Amino acid sequence: MNDDSYGIRLTDTAEGRNSASMLVKRMYARRGYAGTGTRHVLDESNRVTLTATDRGDVVGTVTIGIDSERGLMADELFKDILDEHRARGARLCECTKLAFDLSERSRIPLANVFHLALIYARDLYDCTDVVIEINPRHRRFYERMLGFRQQGELKINPRVNAPAYLMHLTLEYVGEQVERYGGTFDSPAGSAERSLYPYFFSPREERGIINRLLRMDEQNASR
C-alpha cells in the first residue's frame, strides 16, 4: 500500500526490523521507560511486525502477537484475566511495541497500520479478541479512539519499569466500526466521529486487503 511518499510494509528483513526497533527505543526513551526487553519466552513465528514509512523514513510500527502454547507477553502480569478469555473460547492476540512519531499526518498511518495488524490477526489467524498493555496516561486514548476497555488493576510492568493497565477489545466490535465508519474521514459523518475508525480502511478496501493476504498466504503455504 504505497503512494508517492507513504507506505505500509511487513517488516521481514534485518534492516526493517532494526528501523522499527530504533523507533520503539527512541519513543520509549522519550517517555522515560526503562527498556523493552522481556523475560517471557515467545513464539516468534506467531508475531508480525508492520511499519509505516513516510518519504522513506519509518514513522510508526506495531507488532501483533498471536496466542500459542507459550502464551503472550501480557501473561506475565495478567495471566488470570487472559485465561478467563481463553476459557470462554476466545482466540487472543496482543499488540506490542506500538510507537509513532506523531505529527499532523499521523492519524492515517496510525489507523492504517493498526487496522492492517488486526486484519492479519482476525483473517489469517482466526483471532477474536485483542489485548494491549498501556501506560495509564494513554488509557483514555485507547478507550475513546478505539473502544478498548480496561480489565484488572494497575500493575508495574517490569519490562519497562512503568505502571500498566490491560486493555481489551473484541474484533467483532472493530468490524462493526469499520462497516460504519471505515474510510469516511473526509465526509461529514466521518469528521463528526471522534474515534480513529474513520481513518481505517473502508469496507471495500478491507475486503480487497483480506483477499490479497489470503492469496499470499496460500502461495506461501504451497511453496
Report residue 103's pLDDT band, with 50, 70 and 90 as the boundaries. Answer: low
In percent, the amount of the chain with pLDDT more than 90 equals 50
DSSP secondary structure, 97-163, as one string: EEEE---TT-HHHHHHHHHHHHHIIIIIH---EEEEEE-GGGHHHHHHHH--EEEEEEEEETTTTEE
- Across the range 195-202, mean pLDDT stands at 94
pTM for the predicted model, two decimal places: 0.80
Instruction: Flag whether pLDDT at 20 surpasses 70.
Output: no
Average pLDDT, the chain: 81
> Does the pLDDT at position 155 exceed 70?
yes
> The C-alpha cell of 133 is what?
498493555
| Residue-by-residue DSSP string for 1-31 | -B-SSEEEEE--SHHHHHHHHHHHHHHHHHT
* CA–CA distance, 134 with 96 (Å, rounded to integer): 9
How large is the average pLDDT for residues 175-198? 94
Angle between helix axes 203-222 and 107-119 (nearest 10 degrees) is 50
Q: Which residues contact 70 (CB under 8 A, 6 or more apart)?
A: 41, 42, 43
